[in-house]
Amino acid sequence: MRVIVQPDGDSIASLVAESIVRLVNDKPNAVLGFATGSSPLGIYRELIKAYQEGKVSFKDAWGFQLDEYVGLPADHPELYRNVIRTVIESHVDFSEGRVHAPNGTADDLQAAGPAYDTMIEDAGGVDFQILGIGTDGHIAFNEPGSSFSQGTHVETLTPQTREDNARFFDGDISRVPTHTLTQGLGTIMKAKKLVLVAEGEGKAEAIAQLIEGPVSAHWPATIMQHHADATVLIDEAAASKLE
């Protein structure tokens, strides 16, 4: 696993966006894996800028989101499908029907998981997966104790994650959904390249476990140590508990 420490989030975002622009220019039908939350927002801003400057086009590319809340109404601004529309998709030129998220309102959520994995495979598999990390070491919404081999599935959010995400729901934890439909660690590990970004002291313990801890389901992100092409980009604060 490559670890790159940068002075701030802006430099992390530029580095990651440059590498995505290179990929899409080399492979116009590249399959991009989108994370939500605050960590990747700078990357999306840089990608929009590159598109507006004519440096890249996404018209033949694909996007697959990592996860989706279960049970939020279709017009809810925090529905991850809507978030990705707002923060990147509506500002660039993805072709209609090329960006997808797990269907958190499916009647049969158990079937929706494998169906999503099949869609990813049919598009050729994820070339470049952007990841954030939870304070409890989750990636996508694979909480501590998750299986390393699972595909897309329903996951119960821990109280810690719901508390962390309450900031997106006016600070009211009772409004944060209790379940998500999330790519499993098995799905994520199939991506050809993993790039995890994290900033701030609050992520320092999860980052120390990710980079220096044993591979353990207690810290789900540690499975990335077994990926052949995984990079972690962090600022000084997130790196502060590394030895």
d(CA 127, CA 122) in angstroms, rounded, equals 13
- The sheet carrying 99-100 orders its strands as 2-6, 230-235, 194-198, 128-131, 31-34, 62-65, 99-100
The site map against ligand F6R for 103-132 (x = CB under 6 A) is -----------------------------x
Q: Which stretch binds ligand F6R (CB under 6 A): 18-26, 31-39, 107-115, 224-232?
A: 31-39
| 155 included as an active-site residue | no
Give whichever of 25 and 178 is closer to ligand F6R, judged by the CB atom: 178
| Three-class DSSP category at 147 | coil
Among 31, 50, 139, 211, binds ligand F6R (CB under 6 A): 139
Residue 91 known to be catalytic: no
Q: Which stretch, 24-32, 33-41, 104-112, 144-152, contacts ligand F6R (CB under 6 A)? A: 33-41
Name the percent of the chain in helix, strand, coil, to the closest 5: 40, 20, 45
Nearest to residue 61, comparing CAs of 90, 117, 99?
99
Q: Is 26 a catalytic residue?
A: no
Strand partners, 10: none
* Collapsed DSSP state (helix, strand, coil) of residue 153: strand
Query: Should residue 144 be labelled a site residue for ligand F6R when binding is judged by CB under 6 A?
Result: no
Please report, as residue ranges, which positions from 51 to 90 form the binding site for ligand F6R (by CB under 6 A): 66-67
Contacts of 168 (CB under 8 A, 6+ apart): 78, 176
**Cβ closer to ligand F6R: 36 or 152?**
36
108 is catalytic: no
DSSP classification of residue 145: T
Amino acid letter at 132? G
Q: Does 39 bind ligand F6R (CB under 6 A)?
A: yes
Q: Which is nearer to ligand F6R, 33 or 56 (CB)?
A: 33
Binding site for ligand F6R (CB under 6 A): 35-39, 66-67, 132-134, 138-140
